[in-house]
Amino acid sequence: MIIENIELINCDKNIKLSKIISFLETDLSSHFYFKKSLELKSKGRELVSPKSINEGYKNIFNKNGYVSLKPFGDECEVDFYKDRVGIEIQFGKYAFVIYDLFAKFKVCYENDIIDLGVEVIPSKNLAKNMSSGVPSFPSVMRSINRMNIDFPVCLFGINLKNEKPLERGVLPI
């Protein structure tokens, strides 16, 4: 995987982020797989499976001491947590990004559980090769630029490891 976009809100790049960046840029090609789309607009097309990317990252973060965090019981879970940093890998539906930011990171920050929230979402190029409804870095940035984010957050837009950006419907081999 490669990081195509980074946006820091109310924080500076620090040592904690450099380690997270190295994890995010791990080659997951042996972990991710493609699925045949059942959606009307892209029926039969091979799409990147978000579940497989999530599993690859789960292996990496867990091996490096990150754990899931349930600070308020089962109703709120942060994917990965270590050293007061909460990380969400969000390849689900677009609305979950806003939920992560405000129902998880903001609440955890205000309750002195985290110092930084990290949201990982597909880049525009990767989102084009996934099911409909997934977030993309530019669309998320357009939305959150209209909001008041008063807590430290870092957003990463990631893409498959590839020399050039993916074109619609063209996946790397």
What is the pLDDT at residue 89?
Answer: 94
What is the pLDDT at residue 54?
Answer: 86
Instruction: Provide the pairing of β-strand 2-9 with 67-69.
Output: unpaired
124: three-class secondary structure by DSSP:
helix
Q: Is residue 168 part of a domain?
A: no
Separation between Cα atoms, residue 9 and residue 117, nearest integer Å: 10
> Would you say residue 112 has pLDDT above 90?
yes
What is the pLDDT at residue 31?
Answer: 61
Helix 15-24, helix 50-63: angle, nearest 10: 130
CATH number where 62 lies: 3.40.91.20
What is the pLDDT at residue 67?
Answer: 97
What value does the mean pLDDT take over residues 102-110?
A: 94
Query: Which pair of tokens denotes residue 11?
Result: 């924080």
pTM for this structure? 0.85
What is the pLDDT at residue 125?
Answer: 86
Q: Is residue 125 part of a domain?
A: yes
> Would you say residue 151 has pLDDT above 90?
yes
**Domain extent for 7:** 2-33+47-159
pLDDT in tens, 1-56: 789 989 999 987 776 888 999 999 988 766 666 666 666 666 667 777 788 888 88
Domains in the chain, number? 1
Q: Is residue 59 part of a domain?
A: yes
Q: Is residue 97 part of a domain?
A: yes
Q: Is residue 145 part of a domain?
A: yes
Q: Is residue 38 part of a domain?
A: no
Q: Share the mean pLDDT of the chain.
A: 83
| Residue 144: count of CB within 10 angstroms of its CB | 19
| Residue 78: count of CB within 10 angstroms of its CB | 23
Q: Is residue 164 part of a domain?
A: no
Separation between Cα atoms, residue 106 and residue 116, nearest integer Å: 9
What is the pLDDT at residue 39?
Answer: 63
pLDDT in tens, 57-69: 999 999 999 999 9
Q: Is residue 148 part of a domain?
A: yes
